[in-house]
Structure 1
Amino acid sequence: MKKYLFLIFLWASCFRLFAQDYNASLFGCKSDGITNNTGSIQYAIDYIAKKGGGTLHFYVGRYLTGSFSLKSNVSIELHEGAVLLGSSNVFDYSSLNGKRALITAVGQSNIQIKGKGVIDGQQQLLQTHLTALRQKGYISLSDQPEDISLIYLQDSKQIQVKGIMELNLPGAAQFVDRCEDVTFQGLDINCPGGIGVYVRNSNKVILSNIFFRAIESALVESEGNQGLTKENSRLANGKSI
């Protein structure tokens, strides 16, 4: 009897572990590079959060999206061959405390953005769209909506961004504000004219094994930071940051 109870307990434990992994396609996410997946991705994240947390997996394909917000205990994994495409429509990016970003986490904890996939901000297409909007008078020349980060973290803790390639961002690849215990590891950042990592008023931020392939400013440190660690992170010319 004890043996059967143990097997049932083991099966239940394995089921719970399995249930923590979710395929993005099951939530209606399309990998055709055309369909806007913003609503589907946000629904998936909200659903996983309500279930107690887990990981949303993106497999081979190109997933077009605007802004979405991560929740505590919910991670996303971009597997090799998966590309998260930032929308070229500026109106697909919500403004959060005056900042626009593709992926946001505000007041959240225990999150990972990981994998061997790519986040592509589609900077040129976004700039083309903005030029057209200005020419038609829909936005003024004084507006600067193109300053969009790939990842924006505020008042959050225990965040890890690992292994991702980040391309063509119009603003900062990572914008970290009033956060604690944040790790960026094994990233390949290619963003001509942009900022790799912007950190302010944050504690225990680690930059480890990051390659800044093409960048205007690899790291911008604003006021109020404590415990900022840089480990084996280099520019394309071989210099350490």
Structure 2
Amino acid sequence: MAKPVPKAADVGAGRLPATIAPVRAPFPMPVFAIPVFPALAINITDKGAREGAMVTKAIQSAIDEASKKKGGTVVIPRGIWKTGRISLKSNVNLHVSEGAELHFSAEIEDYLPAVFTRNEGVELMSLGALIYANGQENIAVTGKGKLVGPPDGPVRQRYMKVDVIEKVVPADKPVHERVYEGKDGGFIFPPMFISPINCKRVYIEGITLENTPFWNVVPVYCDHVVIRGITVRSVGIPRGDGIDIESSRNVLIEYCTLSCGDDCFTIKAGRGDDGIRVNKPTENVVIRHCLAREGHGGITCGSETAGMIRNVYVYDCVFDDTDTGLRFKTRRSRAGGGDNLTYERIRMILRGDAVKFDMLGSRQYVGELADRLPARPVDKLTPAYRNITARFIVVEKARTFIDITGIPESPATNLLIENAYVTAKTAFKASDAEHVTIRAASITVTDTLMRALDVRDVLFEKVYFNIPGRKLVMDVQGENSKNIRFTECVPDKPEGPN
């Protein structure tokens, strides 16, 4: 191994360097640099802000003035400041100073009028984000200060919870008519913490985010995004994702530390019919030197994938006390999928599974489409995951090393894992997968049974299984299962039909 797999102390926000190193990836990426803003600096106290009062108007006035004067920095000084929604404008850096805390309101009225946004992959008009931007260029949120989400109140209580979003927001209604602003006691869609939409050259550095009402940092339809050195704390918050990249391109995420109530690093691209209508992929994403602490997934693709996720490169990252490591989610009704996803030098200490495909979901969300059989006809809503590579992987602890639940009519395809050092309870279980290769791996497990259901063209090559009794058992089922091979392995092959 040319370069060691990092440990937790080597990565994350505490290791943020002063400059951005060149990005090398298995696909073309732009050159990233820390932006330089004009010398103009406006302190919000110069606009009348004072602690203890709402300072939304003062912050917004400073942002508007700086943007009109061709750019500058709006300074949030040390102190505790109360605010509603903030809208970033072109060429403005919102700088949250060390010792400064922005505390966001719990009242829906402080985030009105409704703005264009995308919630769980569906376009609509609602609260948008606590820090929002639409159609802006060269914007930033920086500093060593803290952003604190709303306390308990209407924003956290009156969100849509009657059904899944695609059954609530009519796909045939124009987006400008899909308005959910909480009038007359109605529901809203919960605001994200920071979400620029349709923006170019977005830079987020250094800040800490706590108590989000929903997903934390969510670029949507953006191009050229850098997120570095941020800390997210949302453990215990349902749907409290850390960073969600949605239908955006040319993205660099580095030296971040995320502890989340849901997935940590997440890649999305729209949901179902509405995502197909928009048809914007997420592509060219590099995630490096990051630390995922508690969370449902260390790095997750999906479950909204309609516009396709492609060209993702994750390397030199650590998932420490996370549930799942590499997670691939989608549903029969979500469309799209993922292609050309590469993971290198990842260390995992997990509560759950190391490599997990969850392509069917549950009846709670997609009804009978979650039932594996019967196989359905392939149509525009059928998603697919293919061409996924993971190499130089260290799994210190996991429930299952590889756990694949594919779709019978769209099996997980072309998965290569090589140079892996694994300690887990179970090595392998898969349904509906094809062209899977595990090569040059050392796998220590306590469960000697591996399971395969309708899997084909699976190769274990130069794999050392450290197992009780030196006996491995393979349970192979399904009429589509074929060509499961063991080459230069120890033991040389499992017992049981294969």
Give secondary structure in 2 for the equivalent of 1:91. helix
Q: CA deviation at 1:218?
A: 1.2
Q: CA deviation at 1:214?
A: 3.0
What's 1:153 paired with? 196
Structure 1 residues 144 and 220: alpha-carbon distance in aligned structure 2, compared to 1, 3 A threshold = farther
- Decide which of 13, 19, 29 is 2:49's aligned counterpart: 29
- Decide which of 207, 212, 219 is 2:265's aligned counterpart: 219
Structure scoring higher RCO (CA < 8 A, sep ≥ 6) equals 1
- Decide which of 185, 190, 209 is 1:166's aligned counterpart: 209
Structure 1 residues 195 and 74: alpha-carbon distance in aligned structure 2, compared to 1, 3 A threshold = same
Q: How many residues align?
A: 214
TM-score after normalising by structure 1:
0.82
Q: Contact 2:104–2:148 at 8 Å: present in 1 too?
A: yes
Alignment map for 1:122-137 (pairs within 5 Å): 122-125=150-153, 130=158
Q: CA deviation at 1:128?
A: 6.8
Cα distance in 2, alignment partners of residues 181 and 127 from structure 1? 31
Q: CA deviation at 1:211?
A: 0.6
Structure 1 residues 47 and 201: alpha-carbon distance in aligned structure 2, compared to 1, 3 A threshold = same
What's 1:96 paired with? 115
- Decide which of 34, 43, 51 is 2:61's aligned counterpart: 43
Cα distance in 1, alignment partners of residues 98 and 42 from structure 2? 17
Cα distance in 2, alignment partners of residues 221 and 128 from structure 1? 24
TM-score after normalising by structure 2:
0.41
What's 1:11 paired with? none
Cα distance in 1, alignment partners of residues 197 and 155 from structure 2? 26
Q: CA deviation at 1:215?
A: 3.0
Q: CA deviation at 1:124?
A: 3.1
Q: CA deviation at 1:233?
A: 1.5
Q: CA deviation at 1:177?
A: 1.1
Q: Contact 1:213–1:236 at 8 Å: present in 2 too?
A: yes
Cα distance in 1, alignment partners of residues 287 and 206 from structure 2? 16
Alignment map for 1:158-197 (pairs within 5 Å): 158-192=201-235, 193=238, 194-197=240-243
Structure 1 residues 203 and 127: alpha-carbon distance in aligned structure 2, compared to 1, 3 A threshold = closer
Give secondary structure in 2 for the equivalent of 1:124. coil
Q: Which has the larger radius of gyration?
A: 2
Give secondary structure in 2 for the equivalent of 1:175. coil
Q: CA deviation at 1:202?
A: 0.8
Question: Structure 1: which 5+ runs fail to align?
Answer: 1-16, 132-136
Alignment map for 1:61-80 (pairs within 5 Å): 61-80=79-98
- Decide which of 57, 60, 77 is 1:59's aligned counterpart: 77
Cα distance in 2, alignment partners of residues 213 and 195 from structure 1? 9
> Does the alignment pair 1:200 with 2:246?
yes
Q: CA deviation at 1:127?
A: 5.8
Give secondary structure in 2 for the equivalent of 1:151. strand
Q: Point out 4+ residue stretches in structure 1 off by more than 2 angstroms.
A: 122-131
Sequence identity, in percent? Answer: 25
Name the structure where helix makes up a greater proportion of residues: 1
Cα distance in 1, alignment partners of residues 77 and 234 from structure 2? 24
Give secondary structure in 2 for the equivalent of 1:64. strand
Question: Structure 2: which 5+ runs fail to align?
Answer: 1-37, 117-124, 160-182, 270-280, 295-317, 320-324, 327-498
Alignment deviations for residues 13-68 of structure 1 (CA, whole Å, 9 cap, x no partner): xxxx65x1111100111233xx1111111111111111111001111111111112
Cα distance in 2, alignment partners of residues 83 and 48 from structure 1? 21
Cα distance in 2, alignment partners of residues 128 and 230 from structure 1? 30
Cα distance in 2, alignment partners of residues 125 and 230 from structure 1? 35
> Does the alignment pair 1:112 with 2:112?
no
Q: Contact 1:113–1:162 at 8 Å: present in 2 too?
A: yes
Q: Contact 1:88–1:129 at 8 Å: present in 2 too?
A: no
Structure 1 residues 235 and 39: alpha-carbon distance in aligned structure 2, compared to 1, 3 A threshold = same
What's 1:235 paired with? 292
Alignment deviations for residues 108-163 of structure 1 (CA, whole Å, 9 cap, x no partner): 111111000001003435567759xxxxx9524xx244x11111111111111100
